[in-house]
Structure 1
Amino acid sequence: MTQLVALAQGQALPVVVAAAGERAGIRFLEFFASAIRNPHTRRAYARAVGDFLAWCAGAGVTSITAVQPLHVAAWIERQTQTLSAPSVKQHLAAIRHLFDWLVVGQIVPHNPAASVRGPSHTAKKGKTPVLDATEARQLIDSIDVTTPIGLRDRALIALMVFSFARVGAALAMRVDDVYVQHRRLWVRLREKGGKRHEMPCHHTLEAYLHAYLDGTGIADDTKGPLFRTVRRGTGQLSTTPLPQANAYAMVRRRALAAGVGTKIGNHTFRATGITAYLKNGGTLENAAAMANHASTRTTQLYDRRQDEISLDEVERIRV
C-alpha cells in the first residue's frame, strides 16, 4: 500500500490521473494490480490506457474525471486510421473496463466509453500462418536431436502440434506435468483464464517427450520447468524457464534452416495441428475440446482446410 500511495502522489501516473487526487491514483493502479490477472492482457490494456490518457492530456483534458464520450470517440476514430479493427476494439475494451472500475470506486460518475461504438469486425478465418503436414514433418525432421537443445526444440514443437497447446501453456509446464495414466503418457496444460487441461499424448509426441526427458536428464527434477534455457557456453539445459520470445526466435531459426518459406510463429503449430486433425476426419466439437476452446466458433478460425480448395479453384483459371 505504501508503494501505491507513493505512485498515486503523481509519480509513474498519467498526468490526468494524478490531477484527480490520491484516491483516484490508487484506484487506477488497483485496476491493473487487482482487476486483471492475465499478464498479457495487463500489458495490452496498459499500453492502450497509457496512449489514450496521453492523448487526453494533449487534447486539453485536465483530469480523468473530465473525460467525456466525445474524447473517447475522437480517440477511437484516430486509432482506426492506423490500427486494424480487432486492435481498435481491444483498445476500446481496455478503456471501458478501466472506467467501469473507476465508476464502481466512485472516482467518476459515469463511464464515458460505454456509449462509444468500435469498428465492426467479423472474422471467419484466422490470420495465423499454417503449415501443411509435409512442411510440418519437414521442419521436425530437420532438427538435430543429438544435442539437448535439439531434443528440447523438437519436443516443444511436437507438443504444440499434437496437443494443440498454446505456447504460453507449453512454456509454463513443469516436468511433472508429463505423467503416465492408463499406461499412456499424458500432458497437463494450464491454459488461459487458469483453466487446467489434460489430454493423452499422440504416440509421436510420447516418443519425443520420452527422448527429451531421458536424453537431458531432467526427468527427476519434477518441480522444475519442462522447457528450459541453455547455459551459455555449455550446451546443457539450465533451470530457467524458456521465455516466449526465445521460443519464437527458435521457431523462426528452425523454419529457416528447414527451408520452410512460410513466415511462421509459435501459434502456427496450434493451427497446423487442428487443421491436420480435421482433414483426417476429426470433428469440430472434438477439436474444440482438445484445444480447450469454449466455443466451436473459435476453433473454426483455425480450420484452414478451405485454403487448399481455394488454391485448386484458382488453378482452374487458364489463359
Structure 2
Amino acid sequence: MPGAIMIEVEHGIEGEGQDRREVQVAQTLTVHHGALAYLLGINALRASEAAAVRIEDYAETLRGHRVLHLVGKGNKPATMPITVPVLRVLEACRGQRTTGALVLRPISGNPIDRRDAYRMVARIAKVAGIPRHISPHSLRHAAITNALDAGVPLRDAQILARHADPRTTEHYDRARGNLDRHGVHFLTAYVAGV
C-alpha cells in the first residue's frame, strides 16, 4: 500500500524475551509524509539525506534500475536502487513537479530540513498510536534490522546502510542470539553432506 511502512516496535529488556509486533506507522497523512517514511524506512536514509533528496536525484536509470543519487555521511556519494513500490510513493509526492526538493512541508510547501523530518516522523508515530518516541533514525534502524531479519547478508545490509565498518551494521542484527540460525547448524549440514 503506497504510503504505508512497517516497523518493529520492541518490548522487553535489552533483547531478552522481546515480543515484537509490526505496526503500521505511516498511513499517508500527506504524500510528503509517505515519501519521507519510505526514504527512511525502506532505503535506510539518514534524516539529513532524506531531507536533501531532489526530484533530479532519482531521475536516472542504470542497468535497468531506477536509482537514487545522494551524498551521504562524510560527503560520500552513494547510488542505490529504488524499488517500484518506493518509486510509486516518490512519484505521488513529486506530482507534476520536475525539479526541486522532493519532500515539502505539508502546509507551506517549502523544502523540509532535518528538523522537519523529525517533526513529520513524530506526527506519523502519533497518528499510528505508537506510545514511544519514534525518530527518523528509528525508521532507518528498522530498515536495516528488517533487512537482516529477512536474511539479507551482513555485507549487503552494510551497503544498504552505507556503514564504513561492518561492526556498525552487526549491532542491528537481532538474530545473533538466535540458536535456530546458529552457524553450527549450517556447518553440520555441510559436513554431513545434507
1: CA distance between counterparts of 2:94 and 2:21? 26
TM alignment of 1:304-319, pairs within 5 A: 304-305=174-175
CA gap of 1:258–1:230, structure 2 versus 1, over 3 A, is closer
Aligned match of 2:103: 227
Deviations along 1:187-206, one digit per CA (max 9) or x if unpaired, are 11210111011111123212
2: CA distance between counterparts of 1:212 and 1:196? 24
1: CA distance between counterparts of 2:80 and 2:173? 20
**C-alpha RMSD over aligned residues:** 2.2
One of 261, 265, 269 as aligned partner of 2:135? 265
Deviations along 1:248-304, one digit per CA (max 9) or x if unpaired, are 111111111111223211101111011111111101111111211111111122334
2:32 is the alignment partner of 1:152:
yes
- Classify the secondary structure of the residue corresponding to 2:105: strand
CA contact (8 A) 1:151 1:211 kept: yes
CA contact (8 A) 1:186 1:200 kept: yes
Q: CA deviation at 1:306?
A: 5.9
CA contact (8 A) 2:48 2:113 kept: no
Structure 2 stretches of 5 or more lacking a match? 1-13, 15-19, 179-194
Aligned match of 2:151: 281
Identity of aligned residues (%): 29
One of 73, 91, 94 as aligned partner of 1:213? 94
| Structure 1 moving runs of 4+ over 4 Å | none
One of 57, 60, 71 as aligned partner of 1:180? 60
2: CA distance between counterparts of 1:133 and 1:271? 16
CA contact (8 A) 1:139 1:254 kept: yes
Deviations along 1:26-75, one digit per CA (max 9) or x if unpaired, are xxxxxxxxxxxxxxxxxxxxxxxxxxxxxxxxxxxxxxxxxxxxxxxxxx
CA contact (8 A) 1:151 1:208 kept: yes
Q: CA deviation at 1:305?
A: 4.2
2:82 is the alignment partner of 1:201:
yes
One of 28, 32, 35 as aligned partner of 1:143? 28
2: CA distance between counterparts of 1:184 and 1:283? 21
CA contact (8 A) 1:133 1:276 kept: no
2: CA distance between counterparts of 1:302 and 1:292? 13
One of 136, 146, 170 as aligned partner of 1:300? 170
- AA aligned to 1:207 is R
CA contact (8 A) 1:162 1:202 kept: no
Aligned match of 2:118: 248
1: CA distance between counterparts of 2:88 and 2:152? 23
- AA aligned to 1:203 is V
TM-score by length of structure 1 reads: 0.46
Count of paired positions = 159
2:10 is the alignment partner of 1:134:
no
More helix by share: 1
- AA aligned to 2:122 is R
Larger Rg: 1
Q: CA deviation at 1:225?
A: 1.6
1: CA distance between counterparts of 2:50 and 2:115? 13
